[in-house]
Amino acid sequence: MSDYVKMWEDLGMDLETHDALCQVLPTAFGDVYLSQENRPEGMGFWDFVVSEIHGIRPSELIEAQKNGQKVFGTFCVYVPDEVVIAANGIVTGLCGGSQFWVPGGEKVLPKNTCPLIKASVGARLDRTCPFFRIADIYVGENTCDGKKKAYEILAEDVPMHVMDVPQMKRPEDIERWAHEIEIFAGVVEEQTGNKVTVEKLNEAIKIINNKRKALKRVYDARKADKLPISGKDALLMMQIAFFDDPVRCAEMCNKLADELEQRIADGVSVFPEGTKRILLTGTPLAIPNWKLHHIIETSGAAVVCEEMCTGTRYFENLVDEEQTTLEGQYKALAERYMKNNCACFTPNEGRIDDIIRLAKEYKVDGVIDVNLKFCSIYDTEGFFVERALKEAGIPVLGIETDYTDSDAEQLKTRVEAFIEMLG
């Protein structure tokens, strides 16, 4: 990493501990990513971003803050970026995906909290992630119990606004969510000092829709029989989409998609013929959680799609761009966001339908339902997921894991056995 020490110091980071993280990341990235063959050239952008992950984007954000822009840190795909962008604010994702931060979270959280929450809290409290330092305000949401309570702890250390996400999807819930978005807009206006207007919001809606379309183009390329990109690379693009500037993100994804479409036309693939195609479904894979993708793709199969928040849930469904009043726009946003199917909703049959649909669209041979340890809602929903898949004649493997490497061997055995089972 280039010399960002001064910036990290100014952010009040714990440099010594942070150094340890900076030392392991490049090796991990090299082992998992750079060892792949014939990667699309377009991945160069994301490789570069990772190589400077705690430097390049953070310094952009700090520059923006100097120009009066505010940075909003978010943890969930229900929080509407559009509203922030309409008020000239910036959104950055804040989910922790490394074991490195977990012990920090365990200082204040119960042991049986999911690693994503522990890592996120640890990254803030231990002052080892610049993004967690830079954000002017965090936006939490009432989704799972673990997060809900963790936000109360974080709120003692950082300004926090929590959005009340409904837990059902009846018409009145969607209306209530539109109202929540309106309240959020008020908070955003206050923070930024800028008004959210119809024009501005419309522009923002288009920006985020374009980003969604671009991400989708890359995913669509993964439907091809000859896979032009590995699952690992697609995941990396997806993970960084949460941090990057949305316009640049769309541009880079479109460029990558151009290349992938050309590869498909030329019959170029990164996997040998007959490689088994896997759909992953379950809890989010926050950066740098590449564990399962790596195990799968070094065991003779390929990940072709992720039905996850770091996956299709992030880009499927667009917001209506034709609204002419703020009220209409908030409603349109609410409708789009409520099409997300997270296990914190009841019932959540939409997700089961999505999984079956995606399994067909991406022509998968099997599905792996992977959930973070101690995430009880996804774990419980796994019952329906596995039953529905079995009924549809699609092989499924359920896995529970965390951020440590201690189960890597066992996971490898399970995954390999599953792939052998696919024939």
Partner 1 sequence: MYYIGIDIGSTGAKTAVLDEAGRIIDTFAQPTGWSSVDTAEAIRKTLVEKGFSPEEGKVVSTGYGRVAVPFSDKTVTEITCHAKGATRIFDDSDICVIDIGGQDTKIILVEDGFVKDFVMNDKCSAGTGRFLEVMANTLAMRPDELCTLAKSGGNTSISSLCTVFAESEVISLIGRGEKKENIAFGVVDSIVKKVAIQAKRIYRPGVRAVLTGGLCECDYICEALSKELKTEVTTLPEARFAGAIGAALLAM
Q: Provide the b/e sequence for 348-364 (b: ≥16 CB within 10 Å).
A: beebbebbbebbebbeb
The binder of ligand SF4 chosen from 53, 87, 109, 144 (CB under 6 A):
144
How far, in Å, CA of 150 to CA of 138, rounded? 12
Helix (H, G, I), strand (E, B) or coil at 320: coil
Spatial CA neighbour of 281 closest among 211, 212, 342:
342
How far, in Å, CA of 49 to CA of 43, rounded? 10
312 makes contact with ligand SF4 (CB under 6 A): no
Tell me the window of 14-22, 123-131, 244-252, 372-380 that interacts with ligand SF4 (CB under 6 A).
372-380
Q: Which residue in the block uniquely carries the two structure tokens 């479109």? A: 254
Task: Pick the closer one to partner 1 by CB: 64 or 408.
Answer: 408
284 makes contact with ligand SF4 (CB under 6 A): yes
Q: Are 242 and 93 in contact (CB under 8 A)?
A: yes
Smallest separation (angstroms) from ligand SF4 to the CB of 40: 27
Helix (H, G, I), strand (E, B) or coil at 309: coil
Task: Pick the closer one to partner 1 by CB: 300 or 350.
Answer: 300
Q: Are 117 and 418 in contact (CB under 8 A)?
A: no
378 makes contact with ligand SF4 (CB under 6 A): yes
Smallest separation (angstroms) from ligand SF4 to the CB of 120: 8
77 makes contact with ligand SF4 (CB under 6 A): yes
The binder of ligand SF4 chosen from 13, 43, 71, 76 (CB under 6 A):
76
The binder of ligand SF4 chosen from 25, 32, 102, 117 (CB under 6 A):
117
Q: Are 323 and 356 in contact (CB under 8 A)?
A: no
Helix (H, G, I), strand (E, B) or coil at 231: helix
CB atoms within 10 A of CB 420: 11
274 makes contact with partner 1 (CB under 8 A): no
Interface with partner 1 in residues 361-390 (CB under 8 A): 390
123 makes contact with ligand SF4 (CB under 6 A): no
Q: Provide the b/e sequence for 283-304 (b: ≥16 CB within 10 Å).
A: bbbbbbbbbbbbbbbebbbbbb
Task: Pick the closer one to ligand SF4 by CB: 290 or 378.
Answer: 378
Smallest separation (angstroms) from ligand SF4 to the CB of 379: 8
C-alpha pair distances (Å), 51 with each of 10, 33, 46, 149, 233: 21, 12, 8, 34, 15
247 makes contact with partner 1 (CB under 8 A): no
Interface with ligand SF4 in residues 341-360 (CB under 6 A): 342, 344
Smallest separation (angstroms) from partner 1 to the CB of 377: 18
Task: Pick the closer one to partner 1 by CB: 83 or 419.
Answer: 419
* Residues making contact with ligand SF4 (CB under 6 A): 76-78, 114, 116-117, 143-144, 146-147, 283-284, 309, 340, 342, 344, 372, 375, 377-378
* Residues making contact with partner 1 (CB under 8 A): 390, 395, 400, 406-407, 409-410, 413-414, 416-417, 420-421, 423
